[in-house]
Amino acid sequence: MIKQLFSILCISILFFNASCTTQKEVVEELEEEQEQNEEDLETEFDLPTLVSDSTLSFLRGDDTLSASIQDLDLEYLEITTVVLEHNNQQISEGIFSEDSTSINFPIDSKELPEGFVNLEVKLFLKEVLSEEEVEVTTTISMEVDNYFPAIFYESNYIQLQYFSYTDVWTAFSIDLFYADLEYNRITDIYNVANIEGDSLTLEIPEGYEGQEYFLCKLINNTQENPSSNGSTVTSVINSMYIDEISSNGSSKINYASSSNKGDYKSVTVAINNSIDYSFSGRYGKYETTTKDGYQFTTFENIIDPTAIKRVTLNDLVISSGDNSNIVVLSYINNGDTLWVEEDQLTEPTDWKALPYKDRERLLVSCFVKSDGIVGQIYNMFDFYDENNIEYYKTRKVLNENTEVIYSLRADNNQTEYYSLLTTTTKELPFTNYRNFYSPEDFGISIQDGDVTINNHNADYFYKFVMVKELDQSNPNFRQAIYITLNKSNHLTREFNFNLSSLNQENTNTLFDNLPLNYEVNVTNYDDSYYDALNNGAFKVNWDLE
């Protein structure tokens, strides 16, 4: 009995030990599997990279940006989505190629601001094992170019153009439009009178691929000018100004009036009674009174150069015996008095005029500058001859802090061309004024309506002007057409142009089918006499008739 119980007990113990061994093995296997899973989850892998594939120089209208995914391991990662953002705002969702490596982003670029913007590509991924989200980003810098530079004309711009110091304009209008580099109009025509005081912002036409354009301004004015015989000469001037611009350049083009009618002032000059003097000059109404040993002369309607730009200034020449000086009335503040004592008056300085070359004419002008304001005065010089040699007598300016600039314009009318050179100096006499330019720098030819100007030795800023004078049987009526083409870059090689495609409709100008067989000139400065201050300026003109 005892032996039998012992046998049963041994069997039970053996069975228990076997059972314990089996459970231990299972636990160990589970632990090994968990460790393996943890090792799998902790496997290191490289994230893919995003690269911009876009070849676009700029964005315009409905456009497409492209990018590619490189080094994507699909064993560990799967793509969730990819988006394009600007300032953390989604603007497009990517469209994948069949192999999921290339991405296209269709966008409406007009939803973006003009100019350069930073766009962010965001690729969202999910890890295969952990299902955790992973994000990869890259930034694409692009230019957005949907609009021409805004054009702004100040309020009453057209009305203010009626006023001129040399002419009476009875009509004045400006129309403008944009043209491509082949001179084809690509926008509507806008009359400035309808847009002044506000900005005109025009969208670049869909399908236009470049960023260079012409801004064309058509100016029509009628002038009434008195003639020497007492009659009035009516002139109708039609002008076209063609400026080459870039849509990725200045964001705004501003036009301010060159004159403001009615901006005048009243100034006084007090001259010591001890001076026996006389005065002359460029001024209008005045009144003289005597008080406290001085003669006070108050001048009305003196031009205020801070309000009226590009103007001939009012001046006063004070002469006493051999002494003669000049006062710039326009540089006296409104209501102020400039005092003149006897010891201030000095004798003018003599200098000999430059010798003339054959077929050459010389014109000397005087400009003054004070507080950054420049104007021209006419009464700076007197002239006299001695032994058939011409001399200038140059006066001294009595205004304080006033700089004097002398300008020499030399024009030469040759058989094949006409040239105009400008030199400036602050000290007389002029020297070496002919050295900066040679007419041989340029050559011109015309064939089949194309005008070609060749640059041989020079490197200048330049513009082209084409002029056509229309014959009229009425001697008191003349009509002319001017076309000006401004170039923003340098003339460094042959330049060829043809305006025969210009044909404007519904305008009050006369540019339809304008031939080019008239007058052409190349210049590096504007026609305004104020640009005579540009030392080294030149103009060359060819008559193509």
| Segment 441-457 mean pLDDT | 69
The pLDDT tens digits of the residues spanning 293-347 come to: 999 999 998 988 876 555 789 999 999 999 999 999 999 999 999 999 999 999 9
The pLDDT tens digits of the residues spanning 192-212 come to: 999 998 989 999 998 888 899
Query: Does residue 107 carry a pLDDT above 90?
Result: yes
What's the CA gap between 251 and 246, in Å, rounded? 10
Most confident stretch, 389-403, 406-420, 447-461: 389-403
pLDDT of residue 288: 95
Same domain, 157 and 130: no
pLDDT of residue 267: 96
Q: Does a structural domain hold residue 74?
A: yes
Query: Does residue 47 carry a pLDDT above 80?
Result: yes
**Last-in-domain residue among 213, 246, 279:** 246
Q: Which residue has the tokens 């050559």?
A: 443
DSSP bridge partners of 490: 461
Same domain, 439 and 538: yes
Same domain, 156 and 140: no
Same domain, 131 and 161: no
**Poorest-pLDDT segment among 94-98, 221-225, 404-408, 409-413:** 221-225
Query: Does residue 220 carry a pLDDT above 70?
Result: yes
The three-class DSSP label of residue 372 is coil
Query: Does residue 249 carry a pLDDT above 90?
Result: no
pLDDT band at 8; cut points 50, 70, 90: very low
Contact 325, 254 (CB under 8 A): no
| Segment 395-400 mean pLDDT | 95
**Poorest-pLDDT segment among 151-160, 415-424, 505-514:** 505-514
Query: Does residue 109 carry a pLDDT above 90?
Result: yes
User: What's the CATH number where 66 sits?
Assistant: 2.60.40
Q: What is the DSSP letter of 41?
A: H
520 vs 81, more confident: 81
Q: Does a structural domain hold residue 319?
A: no
**Poorest-pLDDT segment among 129-138, 181-190, 225-234, 316-325:** 225-234
pLDDT of residue 524: 66
**Last-in-domain residue among 226, 246, 266:** 246
Same domain, 91 and 156: no
Contact 68, 101 (CB under 8 A): yes
Same domain, 454 and 475: yes
Q: Does a structural domain hold residue 301?
A: no
Most confident stretch, 93-107, 222-236, 440-454: 93-107
**Poorest-pLDDT segment among 259-268, 373-382, 410-419:** 259-268
Query: Does residue 132 carry a pLDDT above 80?
Result: yes
Q: What is the DSSP letter of 356?
A: P
Q: Does a structural domain hold residue 420?
A: no
The pLDDT tens digits of the residues spanning 369-381 come to: 898 888 889 899 8
Q: Does a structural domain hold residue 481?
A: yes
pLDDT of residue 423: 84
Same domain, 209 and 239: yes
| Segment 259-277 mean pLDDT | 84
Q: Does a structural domain hold residue 343?
A: no
pLDDT of residue 461: 61
pLDDT band at 42; cut points 50, 70, 90: low
**Poorest-pLDDT segment among 258-267, 361-370, 405-414:** 258-267
Question: Phi and psi of 331, rounded to 5°?
Answer: -95, 5
Query: Does residue 448 carry a pLDDT above 80?
Result: no
Same domain, 455 and 539: yes
257 vs 212, more confident: 212
Residue 505 class from Cβ within 10 Å (0-12 exposed, 13-18 middle, 19+ buried)?
Answer: exposed
pLDDT band at 106; cut points 50, 70, 90: very high
pLDDT band at 118; cut points 50, 70, 90: very high
Same domain, 463 and 503: yes
pLDDT of residue 293: 95
Same domain, 208 and 176: yes
Query: Domain of 498?
Result: 433-544
The pLDDT tens digits of the residues spanning 141-170 come to: 999 999 999 999 888 888 766 554 444 567
379 vs 231, more confident: 379
DSSP line for 284-351: --EEEEEETTEEEEEEEEEE-TTTS-S-BPPEEEEEETTEEEEEEGGGSPTT-EEEE-GGG--PPEEE
Same domain, 94 and 162: no
Q: Give the chain's mean pLDDT.
A: 77
Q: Does a structural domain hold residue 82?
A: yes
The pLDDT tens digits of the residues spanning 9-41 come to: 444 444 444 454 566 565 566 566 655 555 554
Q: Does a structural domain hold residue 460?
A: yes
**Last-in-domain residue among 246, 268, 292:** 246
pLDDT of residue 412: 80
Same domain, 75 and 93: yes
Count of structural domains within the chain? 3
pTM above 0.85, yes or no: no
Closest CA to 109 of 149, 146, 54, 66: 146
Closest CA to 125 of 83, 81, 85: 81
Closest CA to 520 of 462, 468, 470: 468
